[in-house]
Amino acid sequence: MQTNRNAAFAAALLTRRKWLISATAAAASLALGRDAGAQSSDKAFSNWVAGFRPRALKRGVSEKTYDRVMGAVKPDTSVYAQQRSQPEFTEQLWQYINRRCSDHRVTTGKTRAQENAALLARVEKDYGVDRYLMLGLWGMESSFGDVMLNTKYMRPVIPALAALAWGEPRRRKYWEAELLNALVIVDRGWAEPADMIGSWAGAMGHTQWMPEVWLNVGVDYDKDGRISPLGKPDDAFAGTARYLVERGKYQRGETWGCEVKLPAGFNTRLADKRTWRSYAKWQALRVARADGAAFARPDDQVRLWLPVAGGPAFLIGQNYFAFRSYNPSDSYTLALVHLGDRIRGEPPFHQQFPGGERAPTLAELQEIQRRLTASGFPTDGTDGRVGSDTMQAVRAYQQKMGLLPADGYAGLKVLARLRQGP
């Protein structure tokens, strides 16, 4: 997933939301057919590199940098099929949250909170962003940095961006702009091309910045003379906090919201995602925190949200939407803020989602992985972390055993069937 930039540039430049829309559309276009009409000959690419050179020089990239980087690059044409080659899983909201707020991730988050306590406290003081929600974002974006340089998920981004800028016609202007941003970063001495490892679409580092974000929102927080979302998390945290404040309008001191309990017979039409009321006014309508505690800031303005009929209800404020600006998905945002709260020490949601089940424990997930592997469905490890390999193994097992839906969810129903044996 990435971050954006300075408020002064907001009107003129792509926001993270726009990038996500662009990337989704690009992925869709790539999936339409083999290479989506992409060019392929080495001669054509070399001609394109020569033709692109004046644009880079006009942007301020030196001749030396351009010739050194682009003269050696080979386009990573595997990006054309990247999205098409990935298995697709349809997750219900409760499954999405359970998988991303797993025991392993919560435990790891608590460890990272201790290891980075001084840094998180400094960022919180300077920008006002809650340290636990920052941990939730870090966990969602890169599993606390664990997958940041994992070649199974990440790749050199300049060859990927070069391939997209050269051969992906439907979003060519966007990819060209990001390639130029990446070249400026190299020209400034902030990174070498070999250092710039990220997703197929070019997002990099602890909090998955696109080059445009790196270039325009980044902060040299560790004062080493360069900005980088890689390596130590200092710059990544500060730049991401800056984005949340400047782009997402994060409000210091406010919470993202909370789970609430509605009174019997409550008019759910009030959950229209348009009506803002203070916590105090919602309380006057007999809406209460699900944990029974008092609303800490009764004058803050919030909306009522019911993601799934019959499931938990939430009051969500401006800081929920600040994190949503980082990725315009309610599933993502709810999982992020919930992960932050779980790392903080708060419990799972009080109200279960309809048709849902509790999240499996770390020991239960490890047992699922062991039993699947022993049954001929390898999960590439038994550490209790559920990635694409485990999901593919679960789906294959579900299909063999006639378990419907075969959705790849490593949950309690799959574990119960595994325990029954062949």
Q: What contacts 152, CB < 8 A, 6 or more positions away? A: none
Kindly list the structural domains of the chain, giving each domain's residue range(s) and its CATH number in brackets, ordered by start. 7-86+151-246 (1.10.8.350), 257-324 (no CATH), 362-419 (no CATH)
- Alpha carbon distance 235, 238 (integer Å): 5
CA dihedral 40, 42, 43, 48 (to 10 degrees): 70
- Alpha carbon distance 422, 420 (integer Å): 7
Helix (H, G, I), strand (E, B) or coil at 303: strand
pLDDT bucket at 261, cuts 50 / 70 / 90: very high
Query: CA separation (Å) from 299 to 65, 189, 254, 282?
Result: 54, 47, 10, 10
Q: What contacts 353, CB < 8 A, 6 or more positions away? A: 92, 93, 94, 308, 310, 311, 312
Q: What is the rounded average pLDDT of the residues 83-101?
A: 79
- Alpha carbon distance 276, 282 (integer Å): 10
Interstrand relation of 257-261 and 155-156 (parallel, antiparallel or unpaired) = unpaired
Helix (H, G, I), strand (E, B) or coil at 315: strand
pLDDT value of residue 21: 42
pTM: 0.89
pLDDT tens figures, 288-306: 999 999 999 999 999 999 9
Query: CA separation (Å) from 9 to 228, 246, 373?
Result: 20, 10, 51
pLDDT tens figures, 380-398: 999 999 988 999 999 999 9
Cβ atoms of 418 and 371 within 8 Å: the answer is yes
Summary mean pLDDT of the chain: 90
Kindly tell me the sign of the dihedral angle through the C-alpha atoms of 409, 415, 416, 419: positive
pLDDT tens figures, 179-208: 999 999 999 999 999 999 999 999 999 999
